[in-house]
Structure 1
Amino acid sequence: MARQIYQYEDIKGHIWMEEFGERKIYGYMPPSYDGGLEKFPVVYLQDGGDFFLPEKNRVLSVLEGNFEKNKLKEVILIGIEPKQRLDEYSPWYATALSKRFKDFGGKGDVYIRFIVEELKPFIDASFNTDPSVEGTGIMGASLGGLISMYAACVYPEVFGRIGCISASFWYEDFLEYIVRREISNIRSKKIYMDVGSLEGHGKDSRQIFMVSNTKAIYDAFLEKGIGNENIRLEIDHGASHNYKFFADRFPKAIEWLFSKD
């Protein structure tokens, strides 16, 4: 399928979609992108275009408002459609949260390798991107946030900006993995994490650790040497694990990760 371009009345940039291998890839090109010499940072997003397609939410209007105010670097957003979400977004095998669901397949390494070895080279060759570590972000919500953090740990030489919105840090052994893991150039990373204060309430599974594990991972990164100016933890008081809250916090996360210092 050839690349399809979409223009929406309420945004100044444009959106495209094309098939890449067996999955759909969505892209957002900011208003100033004209194919010239300027290089743009890129953020690779889990769950396709859910975070930026105008029919799903209005976050692009917020981002473009921040572009105009010169608060935020203009960024390219690349949304990656998942094929088997529970498998691709899990770093290793784990049993299901309940009998109603299938086990987590633990194919995260294969999925991340696809981004690093296939998709990123394609995007860098097709558009005027900043391919550096500092110019490359990865981000997601829930399990998408979990696999984004895992990607940053496995490929610290690729991803320098990491966004984890309500990430599933309750995942079995993930807190222990972060505590043990040595991450090269940790002091140069920028990491954004958030969680709703009500997430995990009333659960009878590992999800009860949603807030506590997020705080513990934040503390673990501080102990590894990242400065307070390079890591941020937001607690959204009164928020549950809900897409509405994810979308509300997404522009704030992008603004902090790519703000003009």
Structure 2
Amino acid sequence: MKRGEAAEDFPPLSPKACILSSRSGSRMNSTELGHRLIRHYPFASESLLNERGIGIYVPPSYYRDENKRYPVLYMHDGQGVFGPNPFSNSSWNVHRTAEELISEGLMEEIIIVGIDNYGQERLNEFAHPLQSSGIPGAPDIICKGESYERFLIEELKPTIDGLFRTLPDREHTALMGSSMGGLVTYNIGFRNPHIFSKLAVMSPYFVRLDLNTLREIPFYKRYPGVNNLALWLDIGEIEANILVEHVRGVVEELIEQGFVFGQNLMYYEVPALRIPRRIGQPECDRRCCFSSGSRAKQLKPSCTAEKKSD
């Protein structure tokens, strides 16, 4: 659809989408962002006992070819995926990046689902427990990552697959997130390689520094039996040193357990990036290409070994 043309609406909700409704009865709304229509649904979750917005982008050919099905990219922190994040007033504008790359033949058409975080519960929902008591050394975090995982896999994904013409198998399902969203992407993806085949883990919050004791508190764990994922991992070069160090360590561990650098593992250290949720156009291009399965020429990662030899 070209700029200035009337936006096509999505089909009405089907009976399958009974969960895709607001407990308060509020109606869904549509917003024209750039040159594509993004529809925002209020989604009530039984696993989390709360409600959040879901934004959905469909590619240019979605209504022209009614027999075609599409891969799906799920993204956390959906408030900033398609429009300005109310917390930072910045946006990834992923739909615009996707359409530019599609028009240039650098990636295939995909459906993108932006999942709003739940504000004050974001930290809790994006954290998986490392042991039965939660995360050792982080008593302030009530780990709800497993409930968020159930919401995504058992509630949201089946609804999206029922409402839209998706390719629902693992080979065509990707997950992307930044900071704590990167952490939950890592955990959900490695815990469910039968659901997701591609992960984009951006500036993951793998560790916290206790400012009183200077103790490093890991928020992640290893999944040594899993190496059948395609993984994009990145970190900003001027972020906290311990974050960079731990991300490099995870890359080395992944190579040890069977990931092949340059094939199913890409690692990129973003120059001069400090704020994980404010990514520039080149970085967004790389992540979108990787998440769609494309091997675009922009993919020029930095290798852990190369960094250490500088």
TM-score, structure 1 as length reference: 0.85
The match for 1:241 is: 275
Q: Closer, same or farther in 2 for the Cα pair 1:152/1:57, shift >3 Å?
A: closer
1:127-146 counterparts in 2 under 5 A?
Answer: 127-146=164-183
Secondary structure, in 3 states, of the residue corresponding to 1:6? strand
Q: Distance in 1 between matches of 2:282 and 2:136?
A: 31
Kindly indicate whether the alpha-carbon contact (under 8 Å) linking 2:127 and 2:144 is maintained by their aligned counterparts in 1. yes
- For 1:85 and 1:248, the matched residues in 2 are separated by 27
Counterpart residue type for residue 194 of structure 1: D
- Across the two proteins, how many residue pairs are aligned to each other? 243
Q: Deviations over 1:203-241 (max 9, x none)?
A: xxxxx4200111111111111212221110100122213
Change (3 A) 1:47 1:247: farther
**Partner AA of 2:249 in structure 1:** A
Task: Name whichever of 247-256 and 14-23 sits farther off.
Answer: 247-256
CA distance in 1, matches of 2:250, 2:149: 21
Query: Which residue in the other structure is 1:94 paired with?
Result: 135
Moved more, 57-66 or 23-32: 57-66
Distance 1:242 1:154 in 2: 24
Question: Residue 7 of structure 1 aligns to a residue in which SS?
Answer: strand
1:211-250 equivalence runs, <5 A: 211-228=244-261, 229-245=263-279, 249-250=283-284
Mark the CA change 1:47 to 1:94 in structure 2 (over 3 Å): closer, same or farther.
same
Q: How does 1:151-170 map to 2 (within 5 A)?
A: 151-170=188-207
Q: Which string of whole-angstrom CA distances, capped at 9 and with x for unpartnered residues, describes residues 4-34 of structure 1?
A: 22223x32x3211011112111111111112
- Quote the offset at 1:174 in angstroms: 4.2
Match of 1:30 in 2: 59
One-letter identity of the residue aligned with 1:60 = H
2:213 corresponding residue in structure 1 = none
State the secondary structure of the residue aligned to 1:245. coil
Pair 165,20 (structure 1): closer, same or farther in 2 beyond 3 Å: same
**Does the 8 Å contact 1:39/1:128 carry over to 2?**
yes
Give the superposition deviation at 1:160.
0.7
CA–CA separation in structure 2 for the residues paired with 1:159 and 1:218: 19
- Residue type of the partner of 1:235? E
Quote how far apart the aligned CAs of 1:248 are.
5.7
AA at the equivalent of 1:182: G
Unaligned stretches of 5+ residues in structure 1:
201-207
Within 1, Cα distance between the matches of 2:96 and 2:163? 25
TM-score w.r.t. structure 2 length? 0.72
Match in the other structure for 2:113: 78
Q: Assess, with a 3 A threshold, how the Cα gap between structure 1 residues 58 and 121 changes in structure 2: closer, same or farther.
A: closer
Deviations 1:72-95 (CA, angstroms, capped at 9, x unpaired): 011111111222101100112337
RMSD: 2.2
Q: Alignment identity in percent?
A: 26
Report the AA paired with residue 116 of structure 1.
Answer: I
What CA distance in whole angstroms lies between the structure 1 residues aligned with 2:137 and 2:98? 36
* 1:164 Cα deviation from its structure 2 partner: 0.8
Query: Following TM superposition, by how much is the alpha carbon of 1:132 offset from its aligned partner in structure 2, in angstroms?
Result: 0.8
- 1:106-185 alignment to 2 at 5 Å? 106-170=143-207, 172-175=217-220, 177-178=221-222, 181-183=224-226
Distance 1:241 1:137, change over 3 A: same
Does the C-alpha gap of structure 1 residues 59 and 154 become closer, same or farther in structure 2, counting only changes over 3 Å?
closer
Partner Cα separation in structure 2 for residue 140 and residue 253 of structure 1: 10
* Matched residue type, 1:123: I
Residue in structure 1 matching 2:102, options 67, 79, 86: 67
- Whichever of the two has the greater Rg, that structure is 2
Q: Using the alignment, how far apart are the partners of 1:33 and 1:3 within structure 2?
A: 20
Q: Residue 61 of structure 1: CA displacement? A: 2.5
- Which structure carries more helix by proportion? 1
Counterpart of 2:39 in structure 1 is 16
Choose which of 226, 234, 252 in structure 2 pairs with 1:194.
234
Runs of 4 or more consecutive aligned structure 1 residues displaced over 4 Å after TM superposition: none
